[in-house]
Chains A and B, each alone.
Chain A
């Protein structure tokens, strides 16, 4: 996953490109999160200005949706499905294992900054449970050994 450090100019470029869309707020927030990996507080006044919204309205939306992060993630994001189909195939024990293995609870980033661990409620891979998603790539029937392998590869791969 390649994200860049927050910079206002890049943010403004995204905002200008999307501001004229009907219902532009989510497309803008999605673009900013894709670019920077999170929604920087400094983005709020820029968006509010462009869309003629109050800052409170923008913040309200940023905090309503589970996807939006409020701080930069690690170099990789590992999302672990916690929903029922994965529960039926040991998803909970996989989630426990990964938290222990990485030494962080869900929603946090490892100390070396390599991996952010997140909950997700369904990746649509329910016939091949348990499922995880690493930086947008989907994995199915993930054993603990396979999860280890993913973590090792992600840590080796610095981008």
Chain B
């Protein structure tokens, strides 16, 4: 029996992985070839999807991007023995994009069958949980703290400090909440991880529960991710049946259980207090802080709110030790970060790498430049609230502090590349429009400011009192940044002002003949 791997990740399916898997099964049957088809997660090399792998005595070899039409010729060429074909990519882990990575959080993603507990445990799965079960809660928290792990959702707050606060709160009931409301354009790491290695998230949340004394967890997952929802629900059931969840976790006498809840299409619910409101069944209107969720969170109980990647990194920190993890990275950005290349990029995909490589290395060494082959003009890192960087800032290292120093943000690690056809005035307008669309409405600078922002940018584009309106826009941005209650209104000025600062020529063009009506 030869094992053949065809990803079941939504991105791979979106370019035909399902049809390729069917074609391989049909072809194998008609040839009487003995094939076991494994539906793995993705390796993250999305431009090569559907990426088909074959297990050979010398390791897994890859073919991509495969279409159903290629399948007969793959069999003809002897791909089941790893033989050459026009689509051969050689040993999967020798593909330069893959070989250059440091995969810790994503170690199993793409390697294993996401819904096989055997695969998970045979590849170091639950080793972190087993160690945590032998430790005092405070020692678990200390381990996470000394690893230097910082919130991977975007804010970069030290995970250990958050956990310590919750641990020190006295309460009958505490919660672990996983923020899987991955709404930033250019990011898909949470989705990929949940679809490709869901047990690692379950393990991470269970460890968090043990560490702070919480017995219930919720994953708040965005509704745009139906594939991830199905996989995670199934994984939770399987973990429960196998004794990793519920009462008496692995016979320890400790209780932890979890559930996954779907959002309903509101970007603001990625903000932690809005997320908590939504979990409670309310409008996703943000709460004023303080109190911090760590003190008064879900149903006013002490709550850890962590991103998917933060929680999914906890198991390896526990199994390999804080030191192992902290040895990666630079300065105060310790460990590795799954970066996601998106937009106009030749080799789009996820790569996990220690903090510290530059934006240029990410885009050119990994990404191979633009997809269209045209010159790169702008890069937006960190989602819709991230700054637009010009070519001259490409040598900025990908770490939290270096980005903050340039008035940008690393956010959730999404890197969206634009070629020279981009109009930054339009992008600035979109930033304001998006903020207006997604504002929860609680504070005026965000709710009204964003709508005024769209109007002012329209005037600038249409060359009405351009100089005065640019000044007005600058004032408005300053107000939104300083006076908004949360980061939606507070950071929307980043893309707007960076567009003006680095691409002033786009705000100085002749007015278009007719104003561009926008469809909602």
Write the residues of chain A forming the contact surface with B, with a CB cutoff of 8 angstroms: 22-27, 29-30, 51, 57, 60-61, 64-68, 83-89, 95, 99, 105-107, 119-129, 131, 133, 136-141
Nearest B residue to A142, CB-CB: B14
Contact B11 A138 (CB under 8 A): yes
- What distance in Å separates the Cβ of B343 from its nearest Cβ neighbour in chain A? 3
Q: How far is the CA of A133 from the CA of B263 in the complex (A)?
A: 17
Contact B427 A124 (CB under 8 A): no
Nearest A residue to B226, CB-CB: A136
Known: A26-B264, A121-B267, A126-B187. A138 touches B13 (CB 8 A): yes
- What distance in Å separates the Cβ of B276 from its nearest Cβ neighbour in chain A? 9
Contact A26 B261 (CB under 8 A): yes
Q: Check B384 for interface membership: any CB of A closer than 8 A.
A: yes
Nearest A residue to B183, CB-CB: A122
- What distance in Å separates the Cβ of B190 from its nearest Cβ neighbour in chain A? 8
Q: How far is the CA of A12 from the CA of B291 in the complex (A)?
A: 38
Contact A67 B188 (CB under 8 A): no
Nearest A residue to B190, CB-CB: A124
Q: How far is the CA of A64 from the CA of B267 in the complex (A)?
A: 11
Nearest A residue to B276, CB-CB: A23
- What distance in Å separates the Cβ of B203 from its nearest Cβ neighbour in chain A? 23
By a CB distance below 8 angstroms, the chain A residues around B224 are 120, 122-124, 133
Q: How far is the CA of A68 from the CA of B280 in the complex (A)?
A: 18
Q: Check B155 for interface membership: any CB of A closer than 8 A.
A: no
Q: How large is the interface on B (under 10, 10 to 19, 20 to 34, 35 or more residues)?
A: 35 or more
- Going nearest first, the 5 A-B pairs with the smallest beta carbon separation are A127-B348, A25-B281, A88-B343, A126-B342, A83-B185
Contact A86 B185 (CB under 8 A): yes
Can you report 6 A-B residue pairs in the complex whose CB atoms are below 8 A from each other? A22-B280, A61-B283, A66-B265, A124-B188, A125-B188, A129-B342
Known: A25-B282, A120-B224, A140-B15. A89 touches B186 (CB 8 A): no
By a CB distance below 8 angstroms, the chain B residues around A22 are 280, 299
Q: Check B256 for interface membership: any CB of A closer than 8 A.
A: no
By a CB distance below 8 angstroms, the chain B residues around A51 are 281
Within 8 A of A (CB), among B468-520: 519-520
Q: Check B56 for interface membership: any CB of A closer than 8 A.
A: no
Q: How far is the CA of A22 from the CA of B191 in the complex (A)?
A: 25
Q: How far is the CA of A95 from the CA of B520 in the complex (A)?
A: 11
Contact A121 B185 (CB under 8 A): yes
By a CB distance below 8 angstroms, the chain A residues around B185 are 83-86, 121-122, 126
- What distance in Å separates the Cβ of B339 from its nearest Cβ neighbour in chain A? 11
Contact A121 B15 (CB under 8 A): no
Q: Check B422 for interface membership: any CB of A closer than 8 A.
A: yes
Contact pick for A106, options B190, B282, B416, B519, CB 8 Å: B519
By a CB distance below 8 angstroms, the chain B residues around A83 are 185, 384, 434
Q: How far is the CA of A141 from the CA of B280 in the complex (A)?
A: 37
Q: How far is the CA of A139 from the CA of B188 in the complex (A)?
A: 15
Known: A84-B416, A99-B519, A126-B416. A138 touches B342 (CB 8 A): no
Q: Check B145 for interface membership: any CB of A closer than 8 A.
A: no
By a CB distance below 8 angstroms, the chain B residues around A140 are 11, 14-15
Query: Which of B13, B284, B348, B418 is packed against the most chain A CB atoms within 10 Å?
Result: B348
Q: Check B414 for interface membership: any CB of A closer than 8 A.
A: yes
Within 8 A of A (CB), among B422-438: 422, 427, 430, 434, 437-438
- What distance in Å separates the Cβ of B62 from its nearest Cβ neighbour in chain A? 17
Known contacts A22-B280, A57-B282, A124-B190; 13 further A-B pairs (Cβ under 8 A): A23-B261, A30-B262, A60-B283, A65-B265, A66-B265, A89-B371, A124-B225, A126-B342, A126-B348, A127-B11, A127-B342, A129-B342, A141-B15
Q: Check B266 for interface membership: any CB of A closer than 8 A.
A: yes
Contact A85 B342 (CB under 8 A): yes
Q: Check B184 for interface membership: any CB of A closer than 8 A.
A: yes
- What distance in Å separates the Cβ of B499 from its nearest Cβ neighbour in chain A? 12
Known: A26-B262, A84-B380. A126 touches B519 (CB 8 A): no
Contact B264 A29 (CB under 8 A): yes
By a CB distance below 8 angstroms, the chain B residues around A66 are 264-266
Known: A138-B10, A139-B14. A127 touches B349 (CB 8 A): yes
Q: How far is the CA of A133 from the CA of B225 in the complex (A)?
A: 10
Q: How far is the CA of A123 from the CA of B266 in the complex (A)?
A: 13
Q: Check B279 for interface membership: any CB of A closer than 8 A.
A: yes
By a CB distance below 8 angstroms, the chain B residues around A26 are 261-264, 278-279, 281
Q: Check B130 for interface membership: any CB of A closer than 8 A.
A: no
Q: Check B341 for interface membership: any CB of A closer than 8 A.
A: yes
Contact A125 B279 (CB under 8 A): no
Q: Check B340 for interface membership: any CB of A closer than 8 A.
A: yes
Contact B282 A61 (CB under 8 A): yes
By a CB distance below 8 angstroms, the chain B residues around A25 are 281-282
Contact B266 A24 (CB under 8 A): no
Contact B264 A124 (CB under 8 A): no
Q: How far is the CA of A122 from the CA of B224 in the complex (A)?
A: 8
Known: A64-B266, A65-B264, A122-B183. A128 touches B520 (CB 8 A): no
Contact pick for B191, options A29, A68, A85, A124, CB 8 Å: A124
By a CB distance below 8 angstroms, the chain B residues around A125 are 10-11, 14, 188
Q: How far is the CA of A85 from the CA of B11 in the complex (A)?
A: 14
Known: A24-B281, A65-B284, A138-B227. A30 touches B15 (CB 8 A): no
Q: How far is the CA of A129 from the CA of B187 in the complex (A)?
A: 12
